[in-house]
Structure 1
Amino acid sequence: AAKQTEPVTVISLRKLSLGVPEPQQQKEPRTFTVEDAVETIGFGRFHIALFLIMGSTGVFWLAGSLLIIGLASVVIPTIGWRWLIRIASIPGIILIMAFKFIPESARFNVSTGNTQAALATLQRIARMNRSVLPEGRLVEPILEKRGRFADLLDAKYLRTTLQIWVIWLGISFAYYGVILASAELLERDLVCGSKPESQVAAVTAGDSEESQSPCHCHLFAPSDYRTMIISTVGEIALNPLNILGINFLGRRLSLAITMGCTALFFLLLNICTSSAGLIGFLFMLRALVAANFNTIYIYTAEVYPTTMRALGMGTSGSLCRIGAMVAPFISQVLMSASFLGALCLFSSVCVICAISAFTLPIETKGRALQQIK
């Protein structure tokens, strides 16, 4: 007989979830700003090339000035003005060709909505520096408020703005003053016990009516041209010391020291000295006034936030032009009437600027650039 099969019961266990299944969270796309890209790329070959190109503007300007000064007394009688202008234009042509290397600012392109151009610029810089950009998409926060002139006079920046304006005006006044006064100084010939060579080359016409006129010319002697050339070199010769002072002493103290030294050397011009001493005084003055300009440019760009930076630089440049317009009246007109009075005025303005620089309320050394007010 067949054996009866016993029934088998199979139980299947299944985990039941009473809750609603959670949707998978989507990851937000990564983004980065121009500042993030700059930090990631770091310092490299692009920045070195940019430094050399931008720094060469001053070198070529100086070279052009020295070229014109040198050729004016030697070559013009031989080749004439036309060839001189052609030769002097060579540095400008070289600069125009070099500026083609410099791309448009990535921040400017982003602010105008041209993100692709900004990204292309950053990628080019990253390739030159052998680096990579951050992962994600390039974005830039939209600024709801743009800078206004009234922001410069806001309670937070009022004192800083007024002191910066005074400094810009005084620095420009001293800078163009010492340049324009150089001819007056050489004409007076402050070298002790020597007869000025310019008087030997003076244009005279015997007993004619022109010889009795106070409006007469004194031609520069070769030694005068040498003095001008050497003193002009001072504008770039002490730049390394200026950079060290800015980075180690800070912007305010460095500017206060150079402005105070400028005031001192203006007064030293009244001392009867040797030819080498006069050259040394003019050399130091040109170096100091150039250092003042370097420092105030850096400080003004750093002290204001992004929304006000262009306004701060623009208004300061306007005060700079006022100082440049006043300088000829002092270095040419007043100096002819009272030599010591003109020097004291230049020195007094520099002292005021030194005090204003030392008492500036904000030190920007080691301070990150402010993005918003």
Structure 2
Amino acid sequence: MRSPGAQILTKGSVREMVFFGYMVFSILFGLLADRYGRWKILLISFLWGAYFSLLTSFAPSYIWFVFLRTMVGCGVSGHSQGLIIKTEFLPTKYRGYMLPLSQVFWLTGSLLIIGLASVIIPTIGWRWLVRVASIPGIILIMAFKFIPESARFNVSTGNTPAALATLEHIAKMNRAVMPEGKLVEPILEKRGKFADLLDAKYLRTTLQIWVIWLGISFAYYGVILASAELLERDMVCGSKSDSEVVVTQGDSEEGQSPCHCHMFAPSDYRTMIISTVGEIALNPLNILGINFLGRRLSLSITMGCTALFFLLLNICTSSAGLIGFLFMLRALVAANFNTIYIYTAEVYPTTMRALGMGTSGSLCRIGAMVAPFISQVLMSASVLGALCLFSSVCVICAISAFTLPIETKGRALQQIK
């Protein structure tokens, strides 16, 4: 039997390379979005992601498969510019309500891919799953005709006619009248400078945001991978040890996977669906917390609860109990992501907002790349040690969130530094 370290190199190589591509290009796309526009970068990222995702289904070898998935990760890293566009269009009093509701669409996609996987992989194989999963991304490219460039970005670059045209179109759609006055904002010659993130005014905020992003991602993917690991090893109440795990392979092309993993049973897919639904379970409470307690306090509370539920996974329980704990963990980590996405988009000014989100997304993927080594390798040696480590990181993030120097609740978006 191979060591856990060898297993992680094969089982996680695809995932790790996707995260690596995301990590590298997230900063680049953020830099370009602040200089050339959110809409352009969002469109490029969708075209890039859809193209390489479709190519993946024709990969002739495992090496090609890993490379093409890395390219998909590069493209997906620009999708966060969609959140930036939404943030810059939404009025202050609605951002805390509307942005978390986007989680519904993320949940719908997650459930859809799990359902498709349970049907397509056992019948016609993973290649067709990738092809089918590429279709929505290709269709959505046509929707870009109806997505305007951020009016705030246009103003910051001096393109006030384009900004006015967008605002007049919105007013017409809402059967409203444009307010009187002249649209005037200072124009900066340089935008999207990395040094601005480490400027004295934002240095502490930036460093704490990076810690929180890294920790939340570490916890999020830790929950997902720990869930899969518990299912794979049937570790309810420690009922099976690593030596008792039976790895099966079929005779088909799909069975000869370089990862040497066995197929999930139908019950495993049901469990994954139930735990995934948890990602929206706390959405109403999360929205209330964000809008009434504020971004910082709400995030510190949900991070603290995440730490607690990681520790609760150590309790010997039934299969239903395990699913319940995983359900709550998925709900909490999703709430954490909701809040930090909103906070990051609100705390930085327009001239560096996309770069701030891009660098945060890059740090996020570092946490995601480290998580498998804890949830699979360390957990194979000590479940208690792995879960305590996840819990400790969440406590650090909770403290960082509580001590953030700027609260963005009810704060208008800043246009310049």
State the number of aligned residues: 328
CA RMSD of aligned residues (A): 12.4
Moved more, 304-313 or 362-371: 304-313
**C-alpha offsets along residues 89-145 of structure 1, whole Å, 9 cap, x if unaligned?**
443345334443221212223334433322221111001111111235544332366
Counterpart CA distance in 1 for 2:203 and 2:144 is 37
**C-alpha offsets along residues 57-83 of structure 1, whole Å, 9 cap, x if unaligned?**
755554444334334344444444455
After superposition, the Cα gap between the structure-2 partners of 1:68 and 1:165, relative to the gap in structure 1 and judged at 3 Å, is closer
TM-score calculated relative to the size of structure 1: 0.74
CA contact (8 A) 2:158 2:187 kept: no
How far residue 194 of structure 1 moved from its aligned partner, in angstroms, is: 7.1
CA contact (8 A) 2:156 2:351 kept: no
Quote the residue 2:259 is aligned against.
215
- Asked whether 1:232 is paired with 2:276, we answer yes
CA contact (8 A) 2:311 2:387 kept: yes
Q: Could you list the runs of 5+ residues in structure 1 that have no partner in the other structure? A: 1-10, 15-40, 45-52
Moved more, 329-338 or 113-122: 113-122
Counterpart CA distance in 2 for 1:231 and 1:43 is 28
After superposition, the Cα gap between the structure-2 partners of 1:108 and 1:178, relative to the gap in structure 1 and judged at 3 Å, is same
CA contact (8 A) 2:101 2:283 kept: no
Quote the residue 1:95 is aligned against.
140
Q: For 1:282, what is the secondary structure of its paired residue?
A: helix
After superposition, the Cα gap between the structure-2 partners of 1:194 and 1:112, relative to the gap in structure 1 and judged at 3 Å, is same
After superposition, the Cα gap between the structure-2 partners of 1:65 and 1:144, relative to the gap in structure 1 and judged at 3 Å, is closer
Q: For 2:67, what is the secondary structure of its paired residue?
A: coil
After superposition, the Cα gap between the structure-2 partners of 1:314 and 1:197, relative to the gap in structure 1 and judged at 3 Å, is closer
Matches within 5 A, 1:108-257: 108-135=153-180, 137-143=182-188, 146=191, 148-192=193-237, 202-203=246-247, 217-257=261-301
Q: Could you list the runs of 5+ residues in structure 2 that have no partner in the other structure? A: 1-65, 76-97
Higher relative contact order (CA 8 A, sep 6+): 2
CA contact (8 A) 2:100 2:283 kept: no
How far residue 270 of structure 1 moved from its aligned partner, in angstroms, is: 1.5
CA contact (8 A) 1:197 1:221 kept: no
Q: For 1:217, what is the secondary structure of its paired residue?
A: coil
How far residue 164 of structure 1 moved from its aligned partner, in angstroms, is: 1.3
Counterpart CA distance in 2 for 1:12 and 1:291 is 32
Counterpart CA distance in 1 for 2:342 and 2:67 is 79
CA contact (8 A) 2:307 2:394 kept: yes
Counterpart CA distance in 2 for 1:13 and 1:165 is 28
CA contact (8 A) 2:215 2:397 kept: yes
Counterpart CA distance in 2 for 1:240 and 1:247 is 11
CA contact (8 A) 1:255 1:357 kept: yes
**C-alpha offsets along residues 167-197 of structure 1, whole Å, 9 cap, x if unaligned?**
1111111111111221111123343597899
Q: For 2:209, what is the secondary structure of its paired residue?
A: helix
CA contact (8 A) 1:198 1:218 kept: no
After superposition, the Cα gap between the structure-2 partners of 1:198 and 1:58, relative to the gap in structure 1 and judged at 3 Å, is farther
CA contact (8 A) 1:57 1:95 kept: no
Moved more, 106-115 or 351-360: 106-115
Q: For 1:203, what is the secondary structure of its paired residue?
A: coil
CA contact (8 A) 1:263 1:347 kept: yes
Larger Rg computed on CA atoms: 1
CA contact (8 A) 2:171 2:178 kept: yes
After superposition, the Cα gap between the structure-2 partners of 1:122 and 1:352, relative to the gap in structure 1 and judged at 3 Å, is same
TM-score calculated relative to the size of structure 2: 0.66
Counterpart CA distance in 2 for 1:13 and 1:356 is 37
Counterpart CA distance in 1 for 2:67 and 2:309 is 101
Q: Which has the higher helix share?
A: 2
**C-alpha offsets along residues 235-268 of structure 1, whole Å, 9 cap, x if unaligned?**
2232222111100111111000000011111111
After superposition, the Cα gap between the structure-2 partners of 1:198 and 1:97, relative to the gap in structure 1 and judged at 3 Å, is farther
Q: Percent of aligned pairs with the same residue?
A: 90
CA contact (8 A) 1:190 1:272 kept: no
After superposition, the Cα gap between the structure-2 partners of 1:148 and 1:219, relative to the gap in structure 1 and judged at 3 Å, is closer
Moved more, 156-165 or 303-312: 303-312
CA contact (8 A) 1:187 1:198 kept: no
After superposition, the Cα gap between the structure-2 partners of 1:98 and 1:58, relative to the gap in structure 1 and judged at 3 Å, is farther
CA contact (8 A) 1:192 1:273 kept: yes
How far residue 289 of structure 1 moved from its aligned partner, in angstroms, is: 0.9
Counterpart CA distance in 2 for 1:62 and 1:240 is 14
Moved more, 337-346 or 145-154: 145-154
**C-alpha offsets along residues 196-250 of structure 1, whole Å, 9 cap, x if unaligned?**
99989x4569999999999964543322211101111112232222111100111
Moved more, 90-99 or 191-200: 191-200
Counterpart CA distance in 2 for 1:209 and 1:108 is 49
CA contact (8 A) 1:60 1:91 kept: no
After superposition, the Cα gap between the structure-2 partners of 1:217 and 1:112, relative to the gap in structure 1 and judged at 3 Å, is closer
CA contact (8 A) 2:219 2:394 kept: yes
After superposition, the Cα gap between the structure-2 partners of 1:275 and 1:106, relative to the gap in structure 1 and judged at 3 Å, is same
CA contact (8 A) 2:307 2:391 kept: yes
Q: For 1:43, what is the secondary structure of its paired residue?
A: helix
After superposition, the Cα gap between the structure-2 partners of 1:122 and 1:207, relative to the gap in structure 1 and judged at 3 Å, is closer
CA contact (8 A) 1:170 1:349 kept: yes
Counterpart CA distance in 1 for 2:127 and 2:190 is 52
